[in-house]
Structure 1
Amino acid sequence: MSSAKHIAIIGAGVAGLALAIFARKQGIKVTLFERSNSFSTIGAGVTLWPNATFVLKQLGLLDDFTQYGGLPVAMRQCDKQGTQRGEFNIQTLNSLCGFPTISILRRDLIKILAERLEKLDATVHFNQTINTQDIAQLKDKFDLVVGCDGRMNSKAREYMYKVPIPTKYHGFINIIGTCEIDLNPFEQTIHDFRDNNERFGIVPVANQCCYWAAAWPSDLDNTRPIEQWFEEMHERFQDWPKTVQQVLNNYNPRSLKRIFVHDIDPLPYWHKENLIIIGDAAHASLPTSGQGASQALEDVWHLALLFKTECSLNVMLKKLYETRIHKTSSAQNIGRLIAQHIFQQSPHSTTDAPSISADQLSQLYMQGLDLTQTK
């Protein structure tokens, strides 16, 4: 069995909670450090594609997520007049993969994971801001330290590389939120409106609720009052289709967040001695990839598999990187290509959007997810 008998996890987001659950189910002691005073629910919602629900199945949580989430059947792309420009059949993708796609509010995603972990006797410390000096102490105290501390200011990543790794701003903002709305007109379909370098996406979930994102090109300006960004959003999208107006007229104001969208370049390594980074800390991708949470969950599953082996810790962590780097880098690249097409097109460009078939996507998503590895 793994030499990691007691692990420290920095960050109680999707990756941190899922890893803690897998580890406790294997009898590994877990101490989790979270900087907030409760489990984090930052973000509006998440679409969990079949590669993510594969992992949820292994966690024994797929039924819980299905109960709280929506089951989108298609993704429909339209222009600002509401004219349909394309449609992707999610049910076909699900059938090819053998697992469903689930849309869920982030608060419910975290709630499900946290409630399962509470039954598994892990130690959780809230209000614990971990800095690079703390990480040195954790490395001495624990067999393994896992940084799940996010894309922007990962102290685990900074400790590993001796300097902060620069994040890349890609020239557009997202304003995200949630909204209670009549879901019948949405027909369980994700709506993706794009026009003139602007985008408004609406993802139906369940229980008459959706999450959404408005995006457009912008300079990175942290001095501008947040309310002005919200006002600009209403001005930019005031003439867009009825479904967009329904969201703009009914969203929950407390759910609004403005995000200057960053990612990071692929890293040459994810571990040093008994410290490893996973999820956004290791390979943050743009939201246009649709794969942030899914790739984090894949990291967790592969690491949990390696816990079951007789490998030395160094070999185990190196193997995780070698197993995952190609797929995570592909997700990052896809996110960048799609963002470039949406937000950097000239007004008269005739370049087609990057396209991929359900068959190609299923092969990409399910790559490396082999149940025979669990035996």
Structure 2
Amino acid sequence: MQKKRIAIIGAGVAGMALAILARKQGHEVQVYERAATLTTMGAGVTLWPNAMYVLHKMGLAQQVIRAGGTPESLCQYDRSGNRQTTLDIGELNRHCGYASVTILRRDLIRILGEALAEQGVAIKFATSVTCKEVNSLRQANDLVVGADGRMQSVVRQMLFAEAGTPCYQGFINVIGVSKLRPGTLANHIGDFRHPTERFGIVPVRPDICYWAGAWRTSLDESRTQHDWLGELRQRFGGWAEAVQAVLKHPEPESVRPIFVHDLDPLPYWHQDNMVLIGDAAHASLPTSGQGACQALEDAWQLACLMSQRDPLSAVLSQFYRLRIEKTTMAQHVGRQLAQQLFSGQSDESATHSAMSLAQLSRLWMQGLDG
């Protein structure tokens, strides 16, 4: 394997995971991040077995499990708290061979950041890379990786211009982290639904959870955090006791409105020695449940391909061919579920997938060996 000079733009999940894996292979890696420090886009993340497979290969699975939680089931409720359906996560994990872990995003980012530092890779913070600077990086490196997110990816802009613009899907997620009273949801992810509205609660440890309230709205960035929190409490004021419990005392700095965008599937992710990964390549809606999972898969698959002796052009073409079907599926699933949730026309009980656990495990573990 020929050692490469790799420039990675973006220190999120995809960028840091690839940097760790590439450095372990002996490549020379430099990471550029526009923010002044490691940041967290989102309150928390569920790492399904396909993501934990990658973290196991990275040697980080046990750290992630210690920092997070291992939920037993995902329960769908109506807004009053009456259970509608249950997904047995423990059984799903047995089919897949790996755990499912819920974790605060700040803890996942911290673990990745510490692992990156252990590999001797320093992140160049407060560095906004422009199109001109990308071209300079392309001249100085064997590979330039755009892991620079769904909204403002400069690498995607260079590849597609306006054609790669994220699409607003018409709903907001107001997210946050709250202390959790022991026993509020036991060890179950709670998905509370009512036509056009949704509230999800994800326990991480017995005393803490992350959550999101979602509803359809126009894109209005003039309102303050306080405004959105007030509307959140008004909209969900009569909902189940668990919803009221987490809305009473959120961590103030964690509450954030996100106008949810995704991408249409792109016809390619690479050009010459430049490639997109993670949300920059295939941002899906949070309703897919697979955003961070697919970012980790990207890092793993690209690193595996780079370990071979194939020319870079062949590596990047094969990477796209290996990944496009699965990431497009995640994008489509996210949009379909969002349409069901926020159209107000679907039967709540019908929105849960009829797919068997064995089928779901095969779908999620597709493309991963073992």
Q: Normalising to structure 1: TM-score of the pair?
A: 0.96
Please show how residues 1-375 of structure 1 align to structure 2 within 5 Å: 1-2=1-2, 5-163=4-162, 165-206=164-205, 208-346=207-345, 352-355=350-353, 356-371=355-370
TM-aligned CA deviation for residue 289 of structure 1: 0.2
Letter in 1 for 2:176: G
Letter in 2 for 1:42: M
Q: Deviations over 1:158-199 (max 9, x none)?
A: 012244612111111000000112232322100000012110
Q: Is the 8 A contact 2:75 2:191 kept in 1?
A: yes
TM-aligned CA deviation for residue 350 of structure 1: 7.8
For 1:183 and 1:134, the matched residues in 2 are separated by 51
For 1:157 and 1:191, the matched residues in 2 are separated by 36
Q: Is the 8 A contact 2:177 2:250 kept in 1?
A: yes
Q: Is the 8 A contact 2:196 2:216 kept in 1?
A: yes
Letter in 1 for 2:27: I
Q: Is the 8 A contact 2:198 2:214 kept in 1?
A: yes
**Structure 1 segments unaligned to the other structure (5+ residues):** none
Q: Secondary structure, in 3 states, of the residue corresponding to 2:350?
A: coil
Letter in 2 for 1:75: L
Q: Deviations over 1:216-270 (max 9, x none)?
A: 1111112233322221111100000111000010111110110010100000000
Q: Is the 8 A contact 1:183 1:204 kept in 2?
A: no
For 2:272 and 2:318, the matched residues in 1 are separated by 13
**Alpha-carbon spacing, 1:129–1:366, altered in 2? closer, same or farther (3 Å):** same
Q: Deviations over 1:277-299 (max 9, x none)?
A: 00000000000000000000000
For 1:32 and 1:164, the matched residues in 2 are separated by 26
For 2:140 and 2:242, the matched residues in 1 are separated by 54
TM-aligned CA deviation for residue 37 of structure 1: 1.2
Letter in 1 for 2:193: R
Q: Is the 8 A contact 1:337 1:354 kept in 2?
A: no
Instruction: List, as ranges, runs of 4+ consecutive aligned residues in structure 1 with deviation greater than 3 Å.
Output: 348-351
For 2:62 and 2:262, the matched residues in 1 are separated by 32
Letter in 1 for 2:61: L
Q: Secondary structure, in 3 states, of the residue corresponding to 2:76?
A: strand
Q: Normalising to structure 2: TM-score of the pair?
A: 0.97
For 2:112 and 2:182, the matched residues in 1 are separated by 26
**Number of residues of Structure 1 aligned to a counterpart in Structure 2:** 369
Q: What percentage of aligned pairs have identical amino acids?
A: 48
Q: Secondary structure, in 3 states, of the residue corresponding to 1:133?
A: helix
How well do the aligned residues superpose, as a CA RMSD in angstroms? 1.4
Q: Secondary structure, in 3 states, of the residue corresponding to 2:151?
A: coil
Q: Is the 8 A contact 1:82 1:193 kept in 2?
A: yes
Q: Secondary structure, in 3 states, of the residue corresponding to 2:164?
A: coil
Q: Is the 8 A contact 1:199 1:216 kept in 2?
A: yes
For 2:348 and 2:17, the matched residues in 1 are separated by 43
For 1:222 and 1:134, the matched residues in 2 are separated by 30
TM-aligned CA deviation for residue 123 of structure 1: 3.1
For 1:75 and 1:350, the matched residues in 2 are separated by 15
**Structure 2 segments unaligned to the other structure (5+ residues):** none
For 2:205 and 2:337, the matched residues in 1 are separated by 27
For 1:152 and 1:110, the matched residues in 2 are separated by 19
Q: Deviations over 1:59-107 (max 9, x none)?
A: 0001100100000110000011111111110011100000000000001
For 1:322 and 1:276, the matched residues in 2 are separated by 13
TM-aligned CA deviation for residue 136 of structure 1: 0.7
TM-aligned CA deviation for residue 351 of structure 1: 8.3
Q: Secondary structure, in 3 states, of the residue corresponding to 1:12?
A: coil
Letter in 2 for 1:186: L
